[in-house]
Amino acid sequence: MTCLEIVCPCGIDVVSSVFDVLNQYQVSLEAIESNQAGYLYVTISKVEFSDLKQMLGALRCNEQIYDARTVDVVPSELGRRELQLLLNQISYPVILIDRNGLILQTNQAVSYVCRCLMGDLIGQPLGNWVKGFSITRWLGRDNGRPEIIEVYLGGRAYRAYVEPLVDNLSLSHLPSALMSFRSDSQFIPDLDLASIRDSFAPFGLIAHDPEYIRIIEQIKEIASLPRSVLIYGEVGTGKRFCAQLLNHFRGNSAGDMTVISGPIHDEALDEQLLDLAASRPEMVLVYQIESFTSEQILRIIAQMHFVAQAVYTSLLSPEELIARYGEVSFYSAFGQIIRLPPLRERPEDSVQLAQAWLNEYFISKGAQSPILNRSVQQFLKKCQWPGNISQLLQVLRDTIAHTGLRAWSTKDIRYANQHANADTAICGLLDKDYHQAMADFEKLLLSYYYPQFPSTRALAKKLGLSHTAVAKKLKEHKIT
């Protein structure tokens, strides 16, 4: 293609003269546009240089044409390229469509989600890639109005924001609407967590709750400080994941973090501590500190001067650790303390995590994931989740096995602890008397493990109890 810029104050009055010159040299007209400043832009088929030189001379001989020259690109194409640069800066998918439902322009995020090149999308019907939206029905409602609808793009569930481009609605060759696709999940910006994999979030880092977002920012700040950290919270809240995240923020690879996990014999611990002194790793994770003896913990703390940063995780708070071990020196060992809130304290995240996990799971199976309707979302928010994220993911797996691919209702969710008490949590047991604490812990333990085993016999084997005893206790605590 060759682009010509013709300076003509008379504007479109010279179009017929331009056509005559093009016909004289047997050149095909591909496109033409003008602006208010007296410029006419003509796109023609490729032409030999000698013919082009003569053709420009013929155009300049016209008294109404001040000048004629070639240009690299016409203004509309230049504007399209500038728009493309802007679109590619947007992290979520964006599509521009005409009133016939054809895709005119997209950004790179769409190409990534649909697993194809952007060029393969242009000019294609929107319905080939987006399910759940009809341009005809949308234009029929008040000639197209801003809407938020639930759709599928590339097999993923999204909420699509459809915005009409009012000035273009009557012109089929210009974009009539802009569609932006957002998942319900709020991903923490500026974090590259592709290398971090954990049961906490195998599909990425997701946080909607402001308190949890603040914790992520706190971890990012701690990463630059050579201080030890205690991360505590209930089972399944993501303590190991946060340790990995801290290691990532420090610029380390997964191999730069050494893990010491208890319970462990004194001889084996001594060997690990000697290895630490020799290798001097960037970071050490002491996992579930309450599984070590008091003497072992003090020996571990004494050896941490060999590493740049030490991270301790626990189911117990610092006060509970001190009450258990009677060692006030633990406080000085924990330079920073982070409490991870359980899932019941951030109910919005239960929905975001569930939908994100479903999207990832069904895409891996080449199928569309079910969109969680409002009743299911409310149900998930009300669940107590004593096993937190680990339990949520297990419930989703069980529900998929039970329901298949159809739309879910609240009756489909395989949540076994509808009657679990919100107060039944590790951190609250020490405030109760012995008998109540033991009863609550028993209920918590059964509530956590029951959904993870296909039968009560398998559960009994895990807990080291008889099948009859487990069945009796499940009935006693109303766990079904």
Residue 51 in this model has a pLDDT that exceeds 50: yes
Q: Evaluate whether 95 touches 110 at the Cβ level (below 8 Å).
A: yes
What does the pLDDT average to over 279-290? 85
What does the pLDDT average to over 161-166? 77
Q: Evaluate whether 300 touches 327 at the Cβ level (below 8 Å).
A: no
Q: Evaluate whether 26 touches 1 at the Cβ level (below 8 Å).
A: no
What does the pLDDT average to over 120-137? 88
Residue 164 in this model has a pLDDT that exceeds 70: yes
Amino acid identity, position 368: Q
Predicted local distance difference test score (pLDDT) of residue 452: 63
| Mean pLDDT of the residues in the chain | 78
All domains of the chain in start order, with CATH: 2-72 (3.30.70.260), 78-182 (3.30.450.20), 210-340 (3.40.50.300), 358-476 (no CATH)
For the record, the structure tokens of 3 come out as: 């682009």
Residue 185 in this model has a pLDDT that exceeds 60: no
Residue 208 in this model has a pLDDT that exceeds 80: no
User: In terms of pLDDT, which residue wins out, 114 or 202?
Assistant: 114
User: In terms of pLDDT, which residue wins out, 4 or 306?
Assistant: 4
Predicted local distance difference test score (pLDDT) of residue 438: 85
Amino acid identity, position 138: W
Predicted local distance difference test score (pLDDT) of residue 339: 92
pLDDT band with cut points at 50, 70 and 90 for residue 419 = very low
Predicted local distance difference test score (pLDDT) of residue 420: 45
User: In terms of pLDDT, which residue wins out, 194 or 148?
Assistant: 148
pLDDT in tens, 231-276: 999 888 888 888 888 888 887 776 678 888 878 888 888 888 888 8
Q: How far is residue 411's CA from residue 246's CA, in Å, rounded to a whole number?
A: 39
Predicted local distance difference test score (pLDDT) of residue 191: 37
Residue 81's Cβ-side half-sphere holds a number of Cα atoms within 13 Å equal to 7
Strands of 29-34's sheet, edge to edge? 29-34, 39-44, 2-7, 67-71
